[in-house]
């Protein structure tokens, strides 16, 4: 006898929200998901979870899901439901027509960090092997692309250096531009446990996040810097370490390029980079910077964790380089308890970057100009691959406005809501002849689409996600795709409609192709993943069961590379008209733009975004707690309720961006990282005034 609500069987799979990658048992009754139970043998979570993975899965059966393909000739016409064959034929013919009329470079793809490694691999293969260009980019462009650049330049590969467990051996933890207790809660709990055991904490963040002071935890130093001055603070810490002789010369001589170190040491030793010199600029007391630098350099194992508060700046890549410099200076690389660790926002940011989604890199972070690497894929795919890097997302949109880029396939990403400068994104999309949106819901981007291909949820497919510690976790099909096809199958159907002859029958075959062509995945098979539970890349003959810690005997690039970190102020400045600086973040119960979590019961914990404002700034404007306020920038304006709090310093305001009505990207600027075009979401000059509501 089966009681109502009691499961009949369970399937172990991986959470599809953040980059922690928790394992869950999906408990099923027939084809119905009864509950998600944190899996005690999950290596990333060991039986723990947060409210997103545990409860926020109802979107999979939400009435808003689109289950049938739709097409329309132009975006001012209503959608027409059609068969898969008709939709794919329509899409393929439009894309081919564009290429015939405007050249093969006139179309491209955008992959998603929400999809599996196998799906992402196929989408970039679609661009390279079927479209015949490198016009493939990923939503990681707008979050961790500076990590790719910064860690690639300094260490030789774009990945966190440690496993999560490593934090249990850390003596000093530096958290920069991240809020792990909200953004990465299961890792945040692990970190808090270590802090309660006595590890010291340095927080570098404009906002007083929970870690700064919570029960039994108090940060040794909170460097509450002015938004946009990360580089100045990180370089000032290096100044103290070098000028006070706290650097680890033995490590540097043995592991790093000595000449580059000498050049860097000369650069940071300049008094212009001292804490005293940058105190006024950064708003951080010089003594606090000096004390923090000494603690990191002398406190034992030093581990750095960072997030989008580092990367989403005009100098995001420079700050990542600066963080890598700090770790190399102090020898905090290559053993448990130390390292440099980007906390990835989405479940598969790491994987989507690993799989060659960037327009200049084939899978495994190898440049498309490298003829030897191209030859591997040319032999496997039977095509010639262009040696020219393709277009990044913002360049695709620019080219669309110019009329030279006219067709786009977007899988699992709502670029109209998540990318900067909404007006420019909509202008670019509106100018195209064929926009194909492949998603769960009719998102904002779909307003500009000609083809809508229904997407599948993580519960409906097999594959793998790679979490922030490079751990390749299995995603297992819990139920049949409600839309008929898993996303990897849809990409294959589109490729074949365009003349390819792909015949994968299961994602394990795609992983076999990844392993055969990508050295860091060389030993990865679904069989190994079943045996091991999960593995961390590099997983090859040198590390047959994966590698929890990277750069143990040497850096991936050989010798670690110190690079100067000149501070260049963002062009976004506060002034008389816009005197406050807005920065943004996430809250525990919600996820990014809320497309999934707002369609679950988690919405009860967060029904609206609010604007945090310091009591001093609120009083100046006559704003009381709970008042509606107008938030205006040079780009646009929106309305929010005010929350008066000293979590933010005078001169700084803060909001989350989980509700579409907040329109955070209408407010933000179109400035971006100098190396990668990652948007500068974390610094916007704004004015706040009382209003009557939206």
Regarding 685 and contact with ligand SF4 (CB under 6 A), the answer is no
Handedness of CA 232, 235, 241, 242 (dihedral sign): negative
* β-pair type (580-585, 213-214): unpaired
Given 26, 33, 50, 170, the residue binding ligand SF4 (CB under 6 A): 50
Regarding 20 and contact with ligand SF4 (CB under 6 A), the answer is yes
Regarding 53 and contact with ligand SF4 (CB under 6 A), the answer is yes
The DSSP element (H or E) to which 23 belongs, if any, is strand 23-29
Shorter beta-carbon distance to ligand SF4: residue 22 or 26:
22
Regarding 129 and contact with ligand SF4 (CB under 6 A), the answer is no
Work out the burial of residue 511: count CB atoms within 10 Å of its CB; fewer than 13 is exposed, 13-18 middle, 19 or more buried. Answer: buried
Beta partners for 475?
463
Cα 89 vs. chain centroid, distance in angstroms?
A: 33
Regarding 454 and contact with ligand SF4 (CB under 6 A), the answer is no
The DSSP element (H or E) to which 653 belongs, if any, is strand 652-656
Size of site (CB under 6 A) for ligand SF4:
14
Given 13, 49, 319, 330, the residue binding ligand SF4 (CB under 6 A): 49
Shorter beta-carbon distance to ligand SF4: residue 343 or 642:
343
Regarding 17 and contact with ligand SF4 (CB under 6 A), the answer is yes
Contact 547, 538 (CB under 8 A): yes
Nearest to 319 by CA among 165, 466, 205, 395: 205
Regarding 125 and contact with ligand SF4 (CB under 6 A), the answer is no
Regarding 407 and contact with ligand SF4 (CB under 6 A), the answer is no
- State the nearest-atom distance from the C-beta of 491 to ligand SF4, in Å: 25
- State the nearest-atom distance from the C-beta of 340 to ligand SF4, in Å: 21
Torsion of CA 681, 682, 687, 692, to 10 degrees: 70
Shorter beta-carbon distance to ligand SF4: residue 136 or 602:
602
Shorter beta-carbon distance to ligand SF4: residue 21 or 156:
21
Beta partners for 390?
none
Contact 437, 445 (CB under 8 A): yes
Give the interface segment with ligand SF4, choosing from 178-186, 239-247, 442-450, 641-649 (CB under 6 A): 178-186
Nearest to 380 by CA among 544, 541, 509: 509
The Cα 57–Cα 35 span in angstroms is 9
The Cα 335–Cα 319 span in angstroms is 23
- State the nearest-atom distance from the C-beta of 450 to ligand SF4, in Å: 34
Shorter beta-carbon distance to ligand SF4: residue 592 or 638:
592
The Cα 190–Cα 584 span in angstroms is 24
The Cα 387–Cα 617 span in angstroms is 53
- State the nearest-atom distance from the C-beta of 140 to ligand SF4, in Å: 17
Regarding 186 and contact with ligand SF4 (CB under 6 A), the answer is yes
Beta partners for 611?
642, 655
Regarding 52 and contact with ligand SF4 (CB under 6 A), the answer is yes
- State the nearest-atom distance from the C-beta of 306 to ligand SF4, in Å: 17
Regarding 87 and contact with ligand SF4 (CB under 6 A), the answer is no
Regarding 18 and contact with ligand SF4 (CB under 6 A), the answer is yes
Beta partners for 585?
656
Give the interface segment with ligand SF4, choosing from 46-54, 251-259, 375-383, 685-693 (CB under 6 A): 46-54
Shorter beta-carbon distance to ligand SF4: residue 186 or 434:
186
Regarding 327 and contact with ligand SF4 (CB under 6 A), the answer is no
Given 22, 308, 435, 522, the residue binding ligand SF4 (CB under 6 A): 22
The Cα 580–Cα 281 span in angstroms is 15
> In sequence order, which ranges of 184-248 are alpha helices (DSSP H)?
185-196, 230-243
Nearest to 584 by CA among 680, 445, 651, 677: 680
| Cis peptide bond prior to 652, omega within 30° of 0 | no
Regarding 15 and contact with ligand SF4 (CB under 6 A), the answer is yes
- State the nearest-atom distance from the C-beta of 24 to ligand SF4, in Å: 7
Nearest to 450 by CA among 67, 73, 92: 73
Give the interface segment with ligand SF4, choosing from 47-55, 75-83, 351-359, 405-413 (CB under 6 A): 47-55
Shorter beta-carbon distance to ligand SF4: residue 178 or 362:
178
Regarding 563 and contact with ligand SF4 (CB under 6 A), the answer is no
- State the nearest-atom distance from the C-beta of 476 to ligand SF4, in Å: 15
Which residue's CB atom is positioned nearest to ligand SF4? 53
Shorter beta-carbon distance to ligand SF4: residue 17 or 441:
17
Footprint of ligand SF4 (CB under 6 A): 15, 17-18, 20-22, 45, 49-50, 52-53, 184-186
């Amino acid at each position: 006898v089966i009681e109502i609500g009691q499961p009949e069987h369970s399937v172990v799979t991986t959470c599809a929200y953040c980059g922690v990658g928790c394992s869950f048992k999906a408990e099923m009754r027939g084809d119905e998901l009864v509950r998600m139970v944190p899996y005690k043998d999950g290596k990333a979570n060991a039986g723990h979870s947060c409210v997103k993975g545990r409860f926020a899965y109802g979107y999979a059966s939400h009435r808003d899901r689109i289950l049938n393909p739709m097409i329309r000739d132009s975006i001012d016409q209503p959608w027409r439901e059609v068969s898969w064959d008709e939709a794919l034929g329509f899409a393929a013919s439009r894309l081919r027509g564009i290429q015939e009329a405007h050249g093969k470079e006139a179309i491209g793809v955008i992959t998603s960090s929400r999809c599996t490694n196998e799906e992402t691999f196929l989408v970039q293969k679609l661009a390279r092997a079927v479209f015949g260009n490198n016009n493939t980019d990923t939503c990681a462009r707008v979050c961790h692309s500076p990590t790719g650049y910064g860690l690639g330049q300094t260490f030789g590969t774009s990945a966190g250096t440690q496993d999560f467990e490593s934090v249990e051996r850390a003596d000093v933890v530096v958290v920069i531009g991240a809020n792990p207790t909200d953004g990465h809660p299961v890792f945040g709990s692990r970190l808090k446990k270590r802090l309660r055991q006595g590890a010291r904490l340095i927080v570098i963040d404009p906002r007083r996040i929970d870690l700064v002071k919570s029960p039994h935890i108090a940060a040794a130093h909170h460097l509450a810097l002015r938004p946009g001055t990360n580089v100045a603070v990180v370089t000032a810490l290096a100044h103290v370490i070098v000028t006070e002789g706290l650097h680890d010369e033995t490590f540097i001589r043995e592991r790093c390029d000595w000449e580059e170190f000498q050049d860097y040491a000369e650069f940071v030793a300049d008094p212009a980079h001292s804490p005293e010199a940058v105190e006024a600029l950064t708003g951080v007391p010089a003594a606090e910077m000096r004390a923090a630098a000494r603690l990191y350099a002398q406190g034992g194992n030093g581990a750095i964790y960072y997030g989008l508060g580092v990367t989403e700046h005009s100098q995001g890549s420079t700050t990542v380089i600066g963080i890598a410099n700090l770790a190399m200076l102090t020898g905090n690389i290559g053993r448990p308890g130390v390292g440099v660790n980007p906390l990835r926002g989405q479940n598969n940011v790491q994987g989507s970057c690993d799989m060659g989604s960037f327009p200049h890199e084939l899978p495994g972070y190898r440049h498309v100009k490298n003829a030897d690497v191209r030859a591997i894929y040319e032999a496997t795919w039977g095509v010639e691959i262009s040696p020219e890097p393709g277009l990044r997302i913002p360049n695709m949109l620019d080219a669309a406005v110019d009329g030279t880029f006219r067709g786009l396939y977007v899988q699992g990403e709502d670029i109209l809501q998540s990318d900067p400068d909404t007006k420019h994104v909509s202008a670019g999309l509106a100018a195209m002849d064929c926009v194909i949106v492949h998603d769960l819901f009719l998102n904002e981007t779909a307003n500009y689409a000609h083809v809508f291909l229904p997407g599948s949820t993580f519960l409906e497919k097999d594959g793998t996600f790679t979490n922030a510690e490079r751990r390749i976790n299995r995603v297992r099909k819990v139920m049949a795709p409600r839309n008929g096809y898993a996303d990897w199958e849809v990409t294959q159907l589109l490729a074949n409609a365009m003349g390819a002859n792909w015949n994968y029958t299961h994602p394990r075959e795609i992983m076999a192709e990844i392993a055969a062509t990508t050295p860091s995945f060389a030993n990865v098979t679904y069989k190994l993943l079943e045996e091991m539970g999960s593995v961390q890349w590099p997983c090859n003959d040198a590390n047959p069961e994966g590698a929890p810690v990277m750069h143990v005997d040497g850096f991936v690039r050989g010798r670690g590379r110190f690079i100067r970190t000149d501070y260049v102020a963002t062009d976004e400045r506060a002034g008389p008209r816009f005197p406050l600086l807005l920065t943004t973040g996430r809250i525990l119960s919600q996820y990014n733009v809320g497309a999934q979590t707002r369609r679950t019961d988690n919405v009860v914990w967060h029904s609206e975004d609010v604007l945090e404002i310091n009591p001093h700034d609120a009083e100046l404007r006559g704003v009381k707690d709970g008042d509606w306020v107008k938030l205006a920038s040079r780009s646009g304006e929106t309305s929010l309720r005010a929350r008066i709090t000293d979590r933010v310093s005078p001169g700084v305001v803060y909001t989350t961006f989980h509700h579409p009505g907040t329109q955070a990207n209408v407010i933000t600027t179109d400035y971006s990282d100098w190396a990668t075009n990652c948007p500068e979401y974390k610094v916007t000059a704004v004015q706040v005034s009382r209003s009557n509501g939206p």
